């Protein structure tokens, strides 16, 4: 159990660094666009699309590590008011439902990414293919799924 938690947290931390790269790409694209437009009268072609793609890379991979840090919003303030028995039942149920949700998001995301890859769809002005970003979004669900599996196991082992 401890190894699984350590592995999941390490994987989430690794994905977070992918998010940092996305954030740096957003910064670089914005910097090049502004300097190009103001100094050289030549903005970065497809800057909005590049920023949008970078935003996906910045946010999606960092979700799981944010869950580990506890920075995501939760409804704990409502659940804390429930009787202890009900909390004991709801804990695993909510974790299982979240696991199922992210499995479906990942699965359908991979299907969508594959369809984008086959169709060869690209950005209108940047000509960057869409499918790698859909794959990143789908892959980013894997550490989230592992996190909720871990949460489910922990909540089932919790004492009343």
- Note the helical H segments in 40-158: 47-59, 63-69, 76-79, 84-119, 131-139, 141-157
What average pLDDT does this structure show over 30-52? 93
Q: What is the pLDDT of residues 94-145, one digit of tens each?
A: 889 999 999 999 999 999 999 999 999 998 888 999 999 999 999 999 999 9
Q: What is the pLDDT of residues 59-76, one digit of tens each?
A: 999 999 998 888 776 666
Report the alpha-carbon distance of residue 17 to residue 86 in Å, rounded. Answer: 38
Instruction: Please determine, for residue 159, whether its predicted confidence score (pLDDT) is greater than 70.
Output: no
Say what the pLDDT of residue 76 is.
67
Instruction: Please determine, for residue 146, whether its predicted confidence score (pLDDT) is greater than 90.
Output: yes
């Amino acid at each position: 159990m401890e190894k699984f938690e350590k592995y999941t947290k390490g994987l989430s931390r690794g994905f977070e660094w992918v998010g940092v790269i996305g954030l740096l790409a957003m910064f670089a694209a914005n910097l090049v666009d502004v300097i190009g437009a103001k100094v050289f009268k030549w903005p970065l072609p497809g800057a909005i699309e590049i920023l949008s793609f970078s935003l996906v890379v910045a946010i999606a991979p960092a979700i799981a590590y944010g869950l580990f840090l506890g920075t995501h919003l939760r409804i704990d303030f409502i659940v804390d008011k429930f009787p202890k028995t009900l909390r004991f039942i709801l804990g695993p149920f909510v974790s299982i439902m979240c696991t199922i949700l992210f499995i479906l998001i990942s699965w359908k995301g991979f299907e969508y990414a594959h369809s984008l890859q086959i169709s060869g769809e690209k950005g209108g002005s940047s000509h960057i293919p869409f499918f790698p970003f859909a794959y990143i979004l789908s892959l980013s669900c894997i550490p989230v799924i592992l996190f909720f599996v871990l949460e489910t196991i922990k909540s089932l082992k919790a004492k009343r």
